[in-house]
Chain A
Amino acid sequence: MPDLFVPDTLEDAIRFLGDHAGSALPIAGGTDVMIDTRIGRVRTDWLVDLSGLGALAGIDFDGERVRIGALTRIRTVELDAELARRATALVEAARVLGSVQVRNMATIGGNLCHATPSAEMPPVLLVHDGVAEVAGPAGERELPLAELFAGPGRTTLEPGELLTAVRLRAPSSGGGSCYLRQTVRWSMDLAGVGVAASVEVEGATVTRARVALGAVAPVPLLVGAAADAVTETELPPEAAAEAGGRAAAACSPITDARGTAEYRREVVSVLVPRALRIAWLRATGAWPAGVPARINGVLSEDVP
């Protein structure tokens, strides 16, 4: 059973993790780490409790950017009205992450650093041009979020390093985003396929687009080619379908109890166009205010 170290400051945490590299693991909300250690998926001598480092939590808007502290609870993200307006996909992903109880405990940093391929936060942060802020024994650095992930369950963080925040691009107008997924149950499920899309528009024309995938590759995947297919268009169905096809071609899903690789590829080609369309409707102001998207993006009668 691991021992517990409770740092008073971020510096203390970094120093301890650096000194005990390989035998110490950070714990924040605990919703992943507690399970891993109990079932023996992970063995560690020390848990470093970050939950008291309040400075690492918080959502700060600064012009077209927003900075979210790594210890911000998923529940806080879910309930933030400004984020719901400017980075809807983020709030949509937060809402389907586990249950209310899980969201009260889990943190954005934990969801990112646990690096589960099916995690909800990475794709939505990627489509908002996420930048990871990291602090470690060698000081502070930042990196594009996509470079944080090394493989299933592995990040590129060096010994002693901690993710301290994520910065996003979240324009206050002219943008829209969406997170969709395929699951077995309609709640409390892990994604079999996760898709995030964001667009910025001038009028009806897409000036900037992003498409990211979760659960269909060893790491969350930003697919530039899919975004290119819809940029400088008004998102006609052919362009959206092309984006879907390119995204399907770019991913490398596995076959397991949740479906075959072939099935997942097909679902990517279905969900990407839907996510783009909803993002575009939101960006152009055509999406009815306050109406959430269905988790698989099927449009109901009250949406154009």
Chain B
Amino acid sequence: MTGQTVYAEDLHLPGLLVGRILRSPLAHARIRSIDVSDAERLPGVRAVIHAGNVQQRPFGYNHDSIPLKPDKARFIGDEVAAVAAVDEETAQRALELIRVDYEELPAVFDPLEALGEGSPVIHEELENVDGNVSMRWDFEDGDVDAAAARAAVVVEGSYSTPQAAPAPIETHVVIASFGADGQLTVWSPVHMVFMYRKELADCLGLDWRRITIIQPPIGGSFGGKIDIDPHDFITVMLARAAGRPVRLVMSREEEFIGTRTRQPMRIRLRTGADAEGNLLFRDAEVVSDNGAYNGWGSHAMLVVMNTITSLYRVPSSRVRAAVVYTNKNYGGSVRGFGNPQATFAVEQQMEELADALGMDPMDLRLRNANQSGDVTPQGLQITSCGLDECIQLVREQSGWDERRGRMRDRNRGLGAAAYLHVGGGARIYGSDGCGAMVKVDDSGQVTLITGASELGQGSETTLAMIVAEEMQLPLESVRVVNSNTDVKPWDVGVHASRTTFVAGNAARMAAARAREQLLESASEVLGAPVDELTIEDGTIGVDGDPERRLDYARLVRRLLLREGGSIVMASAFYDPPTEMQKEHRGNISAAYGFGVHVAEVEVDPGTGMVRLLNLWTAHDVGRAINPMSCEGQIEGGAAMGIGLALSEELAIFDGEIAAPNLHDYGLPTAVDVPRIVVNLVETIDPLGPFGAKGVGEGGIIPPPAAIANAVADATGIRPRAYPMRPWRVKEWIDTDERSHVLRADEGRDDA
């Protein structure tokens, strides 16, 4: 609030150089040669690097990428060279002096074309890749075709979602510095920090043990800063070549062009039910256009699959999906990680089905809702589950029963959407654990050293609250340290809404062990057995005897200030009891979060403009350890979901992002986001710390579907894509775009 927080661009290091990247202006081109001689000679330039003069190895999933491209550029923005110079202006001039001889190649931008015969192949050097298909994700459970034949009603539809951007207000900033002793220090907003360190070592041939990563306060990430990207390696390589610290700051334009995006998807879905409204099957074909490289984006399909097979009780399901390479900026693991896209299709079809059956959509949802104890076809074990309660809350608060279907004369509508998302970790890596250490020092201050990173989402406060609760202390006595890999224990990273659950459990375990140490020493000091001692308000003593009660500080000093003394310090590592999926089956998370949104919109049929009037939300968070923080995450996520639904899009023409700026991109303002109503539902998860589950991504998932359903209620037409920008809405109205419903008894397509 006072402007004192020091973010990466605010940091001051002596001799800091400015790093800048030269990016390919062509979407697909062979790099025949690079001439950096003029750039190198420019006064003030300390290093110019390209594939020909650096040491680097392939990295990324399936090793399909390398920081500075030696062979070809695969999208407009692909990194080809870089400079480090004494100031911005010199760095810019140096970039302009680098001459790259490109041989332009035919490019492919549409994923369906990329799947076709005769398409240019983007990664011909990868032997285990079939054409432009980076990965396939196929799953089948039960007999979908038999279920379809039995169904009373089948809804089918094709839905498409755009390339979108996390667009935090702080762009990417990386600083790298080699000490005289060869120790590398990197200041990075990354939040899978231990993997980042390993990748740096592997790719650049560095000694893994001589790398320190420091995470400065981050101005927002939303998954965009989760992974290691070429610009991270490049900053280190520049520092190595220049022999001085280098800071690389992305301009806003570069942030759009060269950092990770949310991958566009095309989803063809069929959902069927019997005459009573029991879901019988879902059948999906998905094409995920992940752009020129994999990053983490190739794995968004895991989440898409979970929603298709496991949101509501679905007896049989089939998913056939491909992650496709195209010559565009590539996808990462942006907040929601495929779930907004999947839910857009799944939850529209729920309301389409309900309408076709003559049922209220909320009743259809309740009829098929996931329940505690369910095991879904993919093996997800549902423990705590508040889906029913969430449905009831928003149904009532929005006046659903009285108003849905009844406001079309005023061009208004109500629409709902629910979600299922991991809330207790997500085992996509060998470990899903997080370490914690708790120490109590001679002042009585308690420090939690946690592997989890703070992105601005408030995890530090929540973790401090867990420790404070476990140790019966006021919150102000707990400090959290988590920003230096030399100090903090291992954590796989902040993603998949796992921090409260996994890091929280680790913190709780460590705090409990520290508390045990304090109890044992108090027992010795006070001469009373442990089971006669009570803890209250940072003191331990014998109940009812004020003479025999000590605060933590005095207890610690008693242990410390004697011959053969000791300190109070405990550690723990929590790894949730989950499994990596094999052939897409397995309980990937120790708990699942649920939630439901209802949106109220007003549509202007004349212009197609959609005004979001209200958004009611209810989220099953297990336990709201820090309610203000839970609300903040939900409200912020919902605002991003509203942006996805109505305005956010990276418009791409011939592989080029037409307008890489914030006003054309369509980030919602305070006027675009209404007052969001938040209901926190507590189901007290059996495994979560004090019953809590993750909620970091919940807010962003339902709005596109809920708003689409509301637009459908207001106008009768079915949105087939988001963002529902005005000209699209108007086109659907003018062409009368309706649900496609197949009825068993009529045997024909019903518009």
Interface residues of A (CB under 8 A from B): 1, 39, 182-190, 192-193, 256-260, 263, 266-267, 270-271, 274, 296, 298
Given contacts A184-B723, A258-B727, 16 further A-B contacts (CB under 8 A): A182-B726, A184-B646, A184-B647, A184-B666, A185-B647, A185-B672, A187-B669, A188-B671, A192-B727, A257-B659, A258-B725, A259-B725, A263-B731, A296-B604, A298-B602, A298-B604
CB distance from A248 to the nearest CB of B (A): 12
- Given A184-B726, A185-B669, A259-B727, do A190 and B611 touch, yes or no (CB 8 Å)? no
Binary per-residue interface labels of chain B (652-666) against chain A in the complex, 1 for a CB within 8 Å, 0 otherwise? 010000110001101
Check if B89 sits within 8 Å of A186, measured CB to CB.
no
Q: Considering the chains assembled together, what is the distance between the CA atoms of A184 and B610 in angstroms?
A: 9
Q: Are A257 and B651 in contact (CB under 8 A)?
A: yes
Query: Quick check: A188 and B663 within 8 Å, CB to CB?
Result: yes
Q: Which residue of chain B has the shortest Cβ distance to A266 in the bound complex?
A: B730
Q: Give chain A residues whose Cβ lies under 8 Å from the Cβ of B116.
A: none
Q: Contacts A185-B668, A188-B669: A267 and B606 contacting too (C-beta < 8 A)? A: yes
Known: A257-B651, A258-B727, A263-B730. A185 touches B666 (CB 8 A): yes
B609 interface hit (Cβ, 8 Å): yes
Q: Are B89 and A184 interface neighbours, CB within 8 A?
A: no
Among A187, A190, A270, contact of B606 (Cβ-Cβ < 8 Å): A270
Instruction: Give complex CA distance A192, B647 in Å.
Output: 13
- Chain B, residue nearest A264 (CB): B727
Does residue B55 face the partner (Cβ distance < 8 Å to A)? Answer: no
Please give the distance in Å from B544's CB to the nearest CB on chain A. Answer: 62
Contact B604 A184 (CB under 8 A): no
Task: Name the A residues within 8 Å of B647 (CB-CB).
Answer: 184-185
Is B607 at the interface (CB under 8 A from chain A)?
A: yes
Whether the pair A260, B727 counts as a contact (CB closer than 8 A) is yes
Question: How many angstroms between the C-alpha atoms of A301 and B649 in the bound complex?
Answer: 33
- The complex places the Cα of A214 from the Cα of B79 at a distance, in Å, of 40
Which chain B residue shows the least CB distance to A295?
A: B609
How many whole Å from A4's CB to the nearest CB in chain B? 16
The answer to whether A187 and B671 touch across the interface, beta carbons within 8 angstroms, is yes
Of A1, A188, A296, which is within 8 A of B609 by CB? A296
B606 and A257 contacting across the interface, CB-CB below 8 Å? no
Contact call B727/A190, Cβ cutoff below 8 A? no
Contact status A257-B664, CB under 8 Å: yes
Residues on A with C-beta less than 8 A from B658 are: 256-257
| B542 shortest CB reach to chain A, Å | 63
* A-facing residues in B598-615 (Cβ within 8 Å): 602, 604, 606-609, 611
What is the distance, in angstroms, from A224's C-beta to the closest C-beta of chain B? 24
Docked pose: A296 CA to B604 CA in angstroms: 8
Of listed A1, A257, A260, residue having the most chain B CB within 10 A: A257
A to B contact number (C-beta, < 8 Å): 70
B725 adjacent to A184 (CB under 8 Å) = yes
Cβ contact within 8 Å between B666 and A267: no
Q: Are A190 and B604 in contact (CB under 8 A)?
A: no
A1 to B670: give the CA distance in the assembly, Å: 35
Q: Can you name 23 A-B residue pairings with CB atoms under 8 Å?
A: A182-B607, A182-B609, A185-B646, A185-B669, A185-B672, A186-B611, A186-B672, A187-B671, A190-B663, A193-B607, A257-B651, A257-B658, A257-B664, A259-B725, A259-B727, A260-B727, A263-B727, A263-B730, A263-B731, A270-B607, A296-B604, A296-B606, A296-B609
Contacts of A185 in B (CB 8 A): 646-647, 666, 668-669, 671-672
Considering the complex, give the chain A residue whose CB is closest to the CB of B611: A186
Give the residues in chain B near A270, CB-CB below 8 Å. 606-607
Q: State which residues 225-258 of B face A: CB under 8 Å.
A: 253
- Cβ of B604: which chain A residues have Cβ within 8 Å of it? 296, 298
Contact partner, A192, options B253, B606, B646, B726, Cβ 8 Å? B726
Query: 5 tightest A-B contacts by CB?
Result: A259-B727, A257-B651, A270-B606, A187-B671, A263-B727
Which residues on A sit within 8 Å (CB–CB) of B653?
A: 257
Please classify the interface of chain B as helix (H, G, I), strand (E, B), loop, or mixed, using the class held by over half of its residues.
loop
- List of A residues within 8 angstroms of B727 by Cβ: 192, 258-260, 263
For B710-727 the 0/1 string (1 means CB < 8 A from A) is 000000000000010111
A192 to B607, CA, bound (A): 10
Q: Which residue of A lies closest to B605 (CB)?
A: A270
Cα separation A190 to B659 with both chains bound (whole Å): 13
**Which residues of the other chain, B, contact A266 by a CB distance below 8 angstroms?**
730
B609, B659, B723: which has the most chain A beta carbons within 10 Å? B609
Query: In the assembled complex, which residues on chain A have CB atoms less than 8 Å from the CB atom of B672?
Result: 185-187
For B665-688 the 0/1 string (1 means CB < 8 A from A) is 010111110000000000000000
A residues in contact with B725, CB < 8 Å: 184, 258-259
CA distance A165 to B646 in the complex (A): 39
Q: Give the complex CA separation of A214 and B602 in angstroms.
A: 25
Q: How far is the CA of A188 from the CA of B669 in the complex (A)?
A: 8
Please name all residues of chain A whose beta carbon is closer than 8 Å to the beta carbon of B668 when the two chains form the complex: 185
Tell me if B726 and A259 are in contact (CB < 8 A).
yes
When distances are taken between beta carbons in the complex, the residues of chain B under 8 Å from A189 are: 663
CB-CB < 8 A to A183: which residues of B? 609, 726
How far does the Cβ of B291 sit from chain A's closest Cβ, in whole Å? 19
Q: How far is the CB of B463 from chain A (nearest CB, A)?
A: 36
In the complex formed, the residue of B with least CB distance to A256 is B658
Q: Within the complex, what minimum Cβ distance (angstroms) separates A282 from chain B? A: 20
Instruction: For the complex, give the distance between the alpha carbons of A257 and B649 in Å.
Output: 9
Q: Is the CB of B607 within 8 A of A271?
A: yes
Query: Which residues on the B side are within 8 Å of A257 (C-beta)?
Result: 649, 651, 653, 658-659, 664
CB proximity of A216 to chain B, nearest CB, Å: 13
Cα separation A7 to B267 with both chains bound (whole Å): 61
The CA-CA distance from A185 to B666 in the complex, in Å, is 7
User: Given the complex, which residues of A lie within 8 Å of B671, measured CB to CB?
Assistant: 185-188
Minimum C-beta distance from B412 to chain A (A): 11
Tell me, in angstroms, the Cα distance from A84 to B726 when the chains sit together. Answer: 29
Q: Of B89, B606, B730, which contacts A1 at CB under 8 A? A: B89
- Separation of A39 and B663 alpha carbons in the complex (Å): 15
* Least Cβ–Cβ distance between B443 and chain A, in angstroms: 46
> How long is the Cα–Cα vector from A256 to B659 in the complex, in angstroms?
11
What residue in chain B is nearest A193 (Cβ atoms)? B607
Q: Which residue of B lies closest to A273 (CB)?
A: B606
Q: Mark B89-102, 1 if CB is under 8 A from A, else 0.
A: 10000000000000
Q: Which residues of A contact B659 (CB under 8 A)?
A: 257
| Nearest opposing residue in chain B for A260, CB measure | B727
Chain A residues contacting B731 (CB-CB under 8 Å) are: 263
Cβ contacts under 8 Å, A184 to chain B: 646-647, 666, 723, 725-726
| Chain A: CB-nearest residue to B730 | A263
B610 to chain A, nearest CB (A): 10
**Quick one: given A186-B672, A257-B651, A258-B727, are A267 and B664 in contact (CB under 8 Å)?**
no
Chain A, residue nearest B734 (CB): A266
- Residues of chain B with a CB closer than 8 A to A263's CB: 608, 726-727, 730-731
Closest to B649 in A: A257
Bound Cα distance from A39 to B669, whole angstroms: 24
Contacting residues, chain B, for A39 (C-beta < 8 A) = 253
Contacts of B606 in A (CB 8 A): 267, 270-271, 274, 296, 298
Nearest residue (CB) in B for A183 is B609
Chain A residues with CB under 8 Å of B609's CB are 182-183, 296
Please give the distance in Å from A193's CB to the nearest CB on chain B.
8
- Chain B contacts for A186, CB-based, 8 A: 611, 669, 671-672
Cα A258 to Cα B181 with chains together (Å): 55
- B666 — which chain A residues lie within 8 A by C-beta? 184-185
**Contact (Cβ within 8 A) A296 B607:** yes
CB distance from A171 to the nearest CB of B (A): 30
CB-based nearest A residue for B671: A187
- Complex alpha-carbon distance, A274 and B604, angstroms: 12
Closest partner residue, chain B, to A1 (CB atom): B89
Chain A proximity of B252: nearest CB distance (Å): 10
A184, A267, A270 — most chain B CB neighbours (10 Å):
A184
- Which chain B residue has the least Cβ–Cβ distance from A187? B671
CB-CB under 8 A from B89, the residues of chain A are 1
